[in-house]
Chains A and B, each alone.
Chain A
Amino acid sequence: GKVLVFPMEGSHWLSIRDVVRELHARGHQAVVLAPEVTVHIKEEDFFTLQTYPVPYTKEEYRHHLLGHLQNFFETEFSLKLVLQTMAAVNNVSTFYVRSCRGLLHNTALIQSLNSSSFDVVLTDPFFPCGAVLAMYLRVPAVFFLQSMLCELEFEATNSPNPSSYIPRLLTLNSDHMSFLDRVKNMLYPVPWMYLCHVNYGSLARLASDLLQREVSVVEILRHASVWLLRKDFVFHYPRPFMPNMVFIGGINCANRKPLSQEFEAYVNASGEHGIVVFSLGSMVSEIPEKKAMEIAEALGRIPQTLLWRYTGTRPSNLAKNTILVKWLPQNDLLGHPKARAFITHSGSHGIYEGICNGVPMVMMPLFGDQMDNAKRMETRGAGVTLNVLEMTADDLENALKTVINNKSYKENIMRLSSLHKDRPIEPLDLAVFWVEYVMRHKGAPHLRPAAHDLTWYQYHSLDVIGFLLAIVLTVVFIVYKSCAYGCRKCFGGKGRVKKSHKSKTH
Chain B
Amino acid sequence: GKLLVVPMDGSHWFTMQMVVEKLLPKGHEVVVVVPEVSWQLGKPLNFTVKTYSVSHTQEDLNREFKFFIDSQWKTQQESGVLPLLTSPAQGFFELLFSHCRSLFKDKKLVEYLKQSSFDAVFLDPFDVCGLTVAKYFSLPSVVFSRGIFCHYLEEGSQCPSPPSYVPRPILKLTDTMTFKERVWNLLSYMGEHAFCPSFFKTATDIASEVLQTPVTMTDLFSPVSVWLLRTDFTLELPRPVMPNVIHIGGINCHQRKPVSKEFEAYVNASGEHGIVVFSLGSMVSEIPEKKAMEIAEALGRIPQTLLWRYTGTRPSNLAKNTILVKWLPQNDLLGHPKARAFITHSGSHGIYEGICNGVPMVMMPLFGDQMDNAKRMETRGAGVTLNVLEMTADDLENALKTVINNKSYKENIMRLSSLHKDRPIEPLDLAVFWVEYVMRHKGAPHLRPAAHDLTWYQYHSLDVIGFLLAIVLTVVFIVYKSCAYGCRKCFGGKGRVKKSHKSKTH
Contacts and interface: CB of A to CB of B under 8 A. Distances in A.
A243 B233 contact: yes
B425 interface: yes
Nearest to B175: A450
B239 A449 contact: yes
Interface string A451-468: 101100011110111011
B453 A176 contact: yes
A71 interface: no
B437 A422 contact: yes
A450 B159 CA distance: 17
A195 B463 CA distance: 27
B380 to A, nearest CB: 9
A238 B242 contact: yes
Contacts of A461: 162-164, 182, 186
A241 B240 contact: yes
A183 B441 CA distance: 35
12 contacts: A160-B162, A164-B454, A179-B463, A239-B243, A425-B424, A446-B419, A448-B238, A449-B237, A458-B182, A463-B179, A464-B179, A468-B187
Contacts of A302: none
Interface string B162-185: 111100000000111001001100
B461 interface: yes
A424 B430 contact: yes
Interface string A321-339: 0000000000000000000
Contacts of B329: none
Interface stretch (B255-263, B359-367, B442-450): B442-450
B424 A164 contact: no
A241 B237 contact: no
B237 to A, nearest CB: 7
A424 B433 contact: yes
Interface stretch (A13-21, A54-62, A135-143, A433-441): A433-441
Interface residues of A, number: 53
B483 interface: no
A468 B186 contact: yes
Interface string A157-196: 0011011110000000001100100110011000000000
Interface in B380-410: none
A210 interface: no
Contacts of A430: 424
A163 to B, nearest CB: 6
A183 B241 contact: no
A186 B461 contact: yes
Given A164-B460, A240-B160, A424-B429, A159 B240 contact: yes
B453 A242 contact: no
Interface in B446-485: 446-451, 453-454, 458-461, 463-465, 467-468
A179 B464 contact: yes
A242 B467 CA distance: 31
A434 B418 CA distance: 14
Contact of B233 (A441, A447, A450): A447
A459 B424 contact: no
B461 A243 contact: no
B237 A450 contact: yes
A429 interface: yes
A243 B447 contact: no
Given A240-B159, A243-B241, A449-B238, A186 B464 contact: yes
